[in-house]
């Protein structure tokens, strides 16, 4: 029986044959998908695909969430509505 932390469906399972002839299951984390813009759904450039938050991301506002074009449109809209 797998240990408690291996009972989740967020892990990929692979059946492996051991040298003694026994079969066992190896568990690995799934690959993260490419980050996408929350507005227009295009792939973001300059953002790593790893799940670790320690990787460098764009340091501007909404960096890693919105693409540059959507961010530019949003800022222009905000500047127009505040006046």
| Token pair listed for 61 | 């506002």
Express each pLDDT in 16-34 by its tens digit. 999 999 999 999 988 888 9
Domain edges within the chain: 1-30, 32-83
In this structure, the number of other CB atoms found within 10 A of the CB of residue 23 comes to 8
Is 42 a residue whose pLDDT tops 90?
yes
C-alpha–C-alpha distance, residues 24 and 7, integer Å: 15
Confidence of residue 49 (pLDDT cuts 50, 70, 90): confident
| Token pair listed for 4 | 């408690």
Could you write out the DSSP letters of every residue in 2-60? Answer: --GGG-STTEEEEEEE-TTS-EEEEEEEPPPPPPB-TTT-PBPSS---SS-TTS----S
0.95 cut: is pTM over it? no
């Amino acid at each position: 029986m797998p240990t408690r932390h291996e009972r989740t469906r967020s892990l990929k399972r692979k059946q492996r044959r051991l040298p003694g002839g026994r079969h066992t299951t190896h568990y690995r984390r799934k690959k993260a998908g490419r980050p996408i813009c929350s507005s227009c759904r295009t792939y973001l450039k300059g953002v790593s695909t790893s799940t670790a938050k320690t990787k460098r991301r764009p340091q501007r506002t909404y960096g890693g969430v919105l693409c540059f074009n959507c961010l530019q449109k949003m800022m222009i809209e905000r500047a127009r509505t505040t006046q």
